[in-house]
Structure 1
């Protein structure tokens, strides 16, 4: 579910809920000081036609999604293009579904369960969806991860950026999710060390996991002797596809690739000591993760 805010010569507060195309056309509900406008969304063109019928200079439209109705990335792109042509500016705020929430919560919790089993839970803090302010952008440029966390006491917790960020997507495209990668690394001044993407693909009933880290960009040999921020680039280190086989009895899950490996040094900002090492989500762990997530499908 997403909230779309538009500054234009349009309407005051408008709430829109997505309905299948076979329902009634886009329409505007009653308006008074206590009852904001309501728009039922069917198509982009109908949405803008309804907007143009209302007075005012600010519009907020809420588009809901559920397991039977998905607002596709192309629809969002079409709204933006149409808004640009009509000289309207849009801001999108995602309101997640149960499936979206489970995609990142179950993955993050699998990592934290290992922290607990290893007795290191007191050296890590979960930051959740805390808003992070981009470095050097006091007036804006904020971001929220779906699940985030970092080591303690290695950072000033009053101005903390997570070391680990998990981003999930259901209606969003994988390409759209990847656009957030560079922001997390650069806006944090490279304090974010590791970003995991979890994307649900309904056509294959699959979950795609991607692990992103930063590496020195391709420069002349010997040019990179320190972690120079200007020379770092996000690099896709691992891709894992987990597919559900609903024809099997019981339902089974196939993991294409290997275990998911989270490097200790990136998570805790130091080399592992005696008895410490990378965190590994095994193939069995990933199968269990997919089973827990896809029950919300």
Structure 2
């Protein structure tokens, strides 16, 4: 039988020591969480899990597989989980259309990507991903939206969204990579050239936005702290912006509407506040 570890916090995902595929699927069928950490997963185990998932048409996703640590993180999509990423990505895609950029962007959805040189090893699947066209057009091209190191630094922006029902808030975090180079080194070139010069890539959190639901107001309100969500054009399209092109901005009102949709997916309606 699988060994399911206890979480240290209510919001932490459960931890399972892998024994066999059927035991893993049994846990997936009965867990109420949207994430599951599985340890003791060898590359051959991962290949077997992946094959059985496809044959049985299971809907869970591989958030990350680390072949060295033998850890697999599984995403179990819920209505809230889907509302979190689709609520942002659909608004992002909508902004491409009026500027005529929809043909310059390819949505990759939950496509699985593998680390270069590790066809049976490290892998990841995002929730909503995409690539610029023609800069990243073609099979197995990593998205510019959404891993850093595993993609050989081809991914430029990562967005994490977390829903906390108990604290009544949504947390959005945007990260990018910074490059540190020895004195005199040149930053031009691909990641491999930068690393050969002694460069170091480090993920840096650029934005942290909290959206809090206030049920004491009539109607219920959503308070946004630390401003709009901004995704730079250059990092997404790998070129400088042209006329009428610019950064993607999800403003305060858009974030409030986004939050309203997430809470609706959580089964919490826009009920009026009550006083005695």
TM-score, structure 2 length as denominator?
A: 0.70
> In the alignment, is the contact (CA less than 8 A) between 1:65 and 1:97 conserved in 2?
no
Matched, 1:272 2:241: yes
- Partner in structure 1 of residue 164 of structure 2: 201
Distance 1:58 1:284, change over 3 A: closer
Deviations 1:158-213 (A, max 9, x none): 12111112xxxxxxxxxxxxxxxxxx211211111111111111221111001111
- Partner in structure 2 of residue 226 of structure 1: 188
Gaps of 5+ in 1: 1-9, 17-42, 82-88, 166-183
User: CA-atom RMSD, angstroms?
Assistant: 3.1
- Partner in structure 2 of residue 5 of structure 1: none
Name the CA distance, whole Å, in 2 between partners of 1:286 and 1:254. 9
- Partner in structure 2 of residue 149 of structure 1: 130
Distance 1:57 1:200, change over 3 A: closer
- Partner in structure 2 of residue 95 of structure 1: 76
Alignment of 1:53-92 (within 5 A): 59-60=23-24, 61-64=26-29, 70=33, 91-92=72-73
Matched, 1:110 2:91: yes
Deviations 1:228-257 (A, max 9, x none): 245211111111000111221111000010
Question: Which residue, out of 223, 227, 251, partners 1:254?
Answer: 223
Aligned residues: 219
Name the CA distance, whole Å, in 2 between partners of 1:193 and 1:118. 22
Distance 1:247 1:224, change over 3 A: farther
> In the alignment, is the contact (CA less than 8 A) between 2:131 and 2:137 conserved in 1?
no
Matched, 1:211 2:181: no
Distance 1:222 1:255, change over 3 A: farther
Shift of the alpha carbon at 1:62? 2.7
Name the CA distance, whole Å, in 1 between partners of 2:219 and 2:183. 54
Shift of the alpha carbon at 1:70? 4.3
Name the CA distance, whole Å, in 2 between partners of 1:285 and 1:263. 18
Which is worse superposed, 279-288 or 223-232? 223-232
Name the CA distance, whole Å, in 2 between partners of 1:222 and 1:192. 26
Q: Secondary structure of 1:96's match?
A: coil
Shift of the alpha carbon at 1:221? 4.1
Name the CA distance, whole Å, in 1 between partners of 2:134 and 2:143. 12
Shift of the alpha carbon at 1:91? 4.5
Name the CA distance, whole Å, in 1 between partners of 2:71 and 2:263. 32
Name the CA distance, whole Å, in 1 between partners of 2:182 and 2:169. 40
> In the alignment, is the contact (CA less than 8 A) between 2:105 and 2:133 conserved in 1?
yes
Name the CA distance, whole Å, in 2 between partners of 1:90 and 1:257. 34
> In the alignment, is the contact (CA less than 8 A) between 1:194 and 1:212 conserved in 2?
yes
Shift of the alpha carbon at 1:92? 4.7
> In the alignment, is the contact (CA less than 8 A) between 1:224 and 1:231 conserved in 2?
no
TM-score, structure 1 length as denominator?
A: 0.65
Distance 1:57 1:121, change over 3 A: closer
Name the CA distance, whole Å, in 2 between partners of 1:288 and 1:57. 40
Question: Which residue, out of 178, 189, 212, partners 1:243?
Answer: 212
Q: Secondary structure of 1:158's match?
A: coil
